């Protein structure tokens, strides 16, 4: 049923539902929390707030590093990892064995992994993260303790949220805060591991402070021969084809479907009786009409009328094809115009047109003769249509012009 066919009550109900849906959409857009604020502690490369990591990602990108965001499962990256692979796990959150296995496989294949936070250390092979004896809510100036290049990054500030349990001699502490390890690195298999106590040095609000950027650059390794993957898959949801439909869009879709269901219920279920289409008269089939018209011509002996009608249709069509204004034209003049436009027309064109023209003045014409003339006109038209197709027309030497016939 179209909107024009709705009665006044249905129209008011429809307008009310549409207005409520628009109001709900505006309300959701206003009240929905903005993730791109300084209150969001997630160091995501998509966020430009204080704790986001968009500045670090774009800095690496503009510095010439081959870097991309990784939003698919880590197991897919582990399957193709090699010595050129560098993975950044900024404050990941996962306790899945598949993720732990994927990180270990990346390192064993020769890859380099930078992980931050307690759960970042939990994912690392031979990881020994722990909770600090006291939490430091303010940024701490780290003390260099190692002799490697990473410890020579310079002055680094960090607000540690985890620590590292010292005990493995292969795991070297490069920086510490209040005597607790804050930056640790070690070799595992063919690869290399770097761990930070938090992601503070790579956040937007801290990246430009002191030498925090140098710590990031030394942690990811040299520019040449490496490809960086900044993991976003462990920041909540693993991206898939269906993940893009989740969230507010999916909720609005559900609400919209529910409202459409209510609209259908209130529009149709309150009627007292069944709905029936109006009775339509049965019209004759097309072939019945053709047979009736043929019988009419046959009983009236009007074969000449049929020939005259066919000749008139042919005349109008051919004059339009020749670019001539439609007007009265005798058979000879019509044949001349057609011959000028289509030099290759059939040789019997003039004779057939003259015969059709004379049929209107003859005594009652026989059915066979009338049918023969009509078929001849159809045959000429079919031949001219084929000749008028692009590339099939043999153009004459004369120019087509607009003529008038009397």
Confidence of residue 33 (pLDDT cuts 50, 70, 90): low
Provide the residue range defining the domain that includes 340.
289-388
**What is the DSSP annotation of 136-171?**
--S-EEPEE---SGGGGS---EE----EE----TTS
Q: Give residue 389's pLDDT band: very low, low, confident or very high (50, 70, 90).
A: confident
pLDDT in the model for residue 288: 77
- Sheet strand arrangement including 143-144: 66-70, 227-231, 85-89, 112-116, 191-196, 180-188, 172-177, 143-144
Residue of 152, 150, 142, 149 whose CA lies nearest to 197: 142
On average, the pLDDT of the chain sits at: 81
Mean pLDDT of 155-176: 92
Please count the structural domains in the chain: 3
Give the CA distances from residue 159 to residues 53, 117, 206, 385, in Å, rounded to whole numbers and listed in that order.
16, 10, 10, 85
> Is residue 399's pLDDT more than 50?
no
Q: What is the mean pLDDT of residues 92-118?
A: 94
pLDDT score, position 369: 83
Structure tokens at 60: 């690496």
- Pairing mode, if any, of strands 85-89 and 227-231? parallel
At how many degrees (to 10) do helices 367-388 and 349-359 cross?
Answer: 140
- Determine the Cα–Cα distance for residues 39 and 35; give it in Å rounded to an integer: 8
Give the predicted TM-score (pTM) of the model: 0.53
How confident is the model at residue 356, as a pLDDT? 85
Q: Is the domain of 263 the same as that of 186?
A: no
- State what percent of residues in the chain have pLDDT above 90: 37
Sequence-separated (6 or more) residues with CB below 8 Å from residue 226: 65, 66, 84, 85, 86, 112, 220
Mean pLDDT on 169-198: 94
Summarize pLDDT for 13-25 with one digit per residue, the tens: 778 877 887 777 7
Residues 321 and 180 in one domain: no
State whether 64 and 132 are in the same domain: yes
Report the 10 Å Cβ neighbour count for 162. Answer: 23
Which helix or strand (DSSP H or E) is residue 350 part of?
Answer: helix 349-359
In a domain, 46, yes or no: no
- What would the mean pLDDT of 277-284 be, rounded to a whole number? 68
Q: Taking residues 346-355, what's their average pLDDT?
A: 86
Q: Examine the domain organization and report whether 172 and 61 are in the same domain.
A: yes
**Does residue 100 sit in the same domain as residue 207?**
yes
Residue 354: phi, psi to the nearest 5? -65, -40
Give 17's contacts (C-beta < 8 A, 6+ positions apart). 259, 262, 263
Q: In this model, does residue 393 exceed pLDDT 50?
A: no
CATH number at residue 176: 3.40.50.880
* Burial class of 264 by CB neighbour count within 10 A (0 to 12, 13 to 18, 19+): exposed
81-95, 203-217, 243-257, 331-345: which range is least confident on average? 243-257
Q: Return the pLDDT at 300.
A: 67
**217, 248: one domain:** no
CB 74 within 8 A of CB 103: yes
Tell me how far apart the alpha carbons of residues 212 and 218 are, in angstroms, rounded to a whole number. Answer: 10
pLDDT at 269 exceeding the cut of 80:
no
* Higher-scoring residue by pLDDT: 393, 228: 228
205 lies in the same domain as 317: no
276 lies in some domain = no
State the Cα angle at 370 between 366 and 372, rounded to 5°. Answer: 120
């Amino acid at each position: 049923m179209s909107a024009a066919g709705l009665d006044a009550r249905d129209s008011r109900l429809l307008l009310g539902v549409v207005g409520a849906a628009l109001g709900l959409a505006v309300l959701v857009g206003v009240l929905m929390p903005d993730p791109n604020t300084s209150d969001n502690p997630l160091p995501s490369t998509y966020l430009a707030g204080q704790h986001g990591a968009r500045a670090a990602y774009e800095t690496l990108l503009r510095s010439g590093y081959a870097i991309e965001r990784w939003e698919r499962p880590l197991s897919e990256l582990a399957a193709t990892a090699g010595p050129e692979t560098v993975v950044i796990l900024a404050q990941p959150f996962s306790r899945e064995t598949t993720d732990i296995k994927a990180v270990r496989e990346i390192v064993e294949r020769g890859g380099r992994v930078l992980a931050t936070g307690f759960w970042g250390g939990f994912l690392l092979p031979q990881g020994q993260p722990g909770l600090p004896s006291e939490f430091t809510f303010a940024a701490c100036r780290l003390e260099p303790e190692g002799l490697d290049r990473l410890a020579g990054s310079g002055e680094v500030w960090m607000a540690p949220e985890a620590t590292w349990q010292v005990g493995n001699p292969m795991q070297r502490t490069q920086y510490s805060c209040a005597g607790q390890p804050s930056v640790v690195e070690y070799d595992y298999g063919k690869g290399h591991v770097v761990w930070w106590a938090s992601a503070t040095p790579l956040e937007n609000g801290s990246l430009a402070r002191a030498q925090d950027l140098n710590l990031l650059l030394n942690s990811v390794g040299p520019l040449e021969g490496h490809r960086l993957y900044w993991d976003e898959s462990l920041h909540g949801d693993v991206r898939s084809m269906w993940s893009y439909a989740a969230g507010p869009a999916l909720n609005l879709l559900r609400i919209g479907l529910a409202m459409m269901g209510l609209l259908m219920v209130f529009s149709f279920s309150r009627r007292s009786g069944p709905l029936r289409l109006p009775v339509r008269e049965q019209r004759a089939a097309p072939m019945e009409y053709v047979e009736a018209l043929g019988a009419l011509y046959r009983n009236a002996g009007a074969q000449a009328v049929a020939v005259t009608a066919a000749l008139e249709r042919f005349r109008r069509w051919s004059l339009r094809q020749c670019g001539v204004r439609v007007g009265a034209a005798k058979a000879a003049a019509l044949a001349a115009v057609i011959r000028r436009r289509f030099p290759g027309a059939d040789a019997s064109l003039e004779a057939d047109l003259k015969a059709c023209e004379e049929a209107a003045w003859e005594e009652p014409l026989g059915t066979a003769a009338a049918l023969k003339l009509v078929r001849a006109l159809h045959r000429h038209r079919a031949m001219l249509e084929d000749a008028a197709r692009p590339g099939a027309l043999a153009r004459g030497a004369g120019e087509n012009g607009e003529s008038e016939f009397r």
